[in-house]
Amino acid sequence: MGASSRQAVYEELVDTIVRMGYPEEFGILIADSLKGEKSMARMSSYLHQFRPTSAEEITDEMLSILEDNSRWREKKISEFYNRKMNKLMNEGPLDEDE
């Protein structure tokens, strides 16, 4: 997914929020906070599907998406170090010569 694709998703999210009657600055803030293309696409999907009726609902969903992303990142980090620890326990420490 390239930069132009990310920009298109960004603009779509901001445009959707503006069409819902909110200031462009609010849309930009939401899109900038989400950063990632998948997160912005998820937010756009939420807006189209559930039609939230307040800025608070939109903000709550943004925070929920960010929390999910953080939880996923922590899970991947934990899995990485768990694999390292299992390898160490199964194979033992490396010799100094290795």
Alpha carbons within 13 A on the beta-carbon side of 64:
9
Which residue range(s) make up the domain with 33? 3-90
pLDDT in tens, 51-95: 999 999 999 999 999 999 999 999 999 999 999 999 999 998 876
pLDDT in tens, 88-98: 999 988 766 55
Q: How many domains does the chain have?
A: 1
For residue 56, give Cα distances in angstroms to 1, 4, 40, 43. Answer: 30, 30, 17, 14
Q: Is residue 34 part of a domain?
A: yes
Q: Is residue 47 part of a domain?
A: yes
Q: Is residue 51 part of a domain?
A: yes
Q: Is residue 78 part of a domain?
A: yes
Alpha carbons within 13 A on the beta-carbon side of 19:
10
Q: Is residue 81 part of a domain?
A: yes
Q: Is residue 98 part of a domain?
A: no
Q: What's the pTM?
A: 0.81
Q: Is residue 97 part of a domain?
A: no
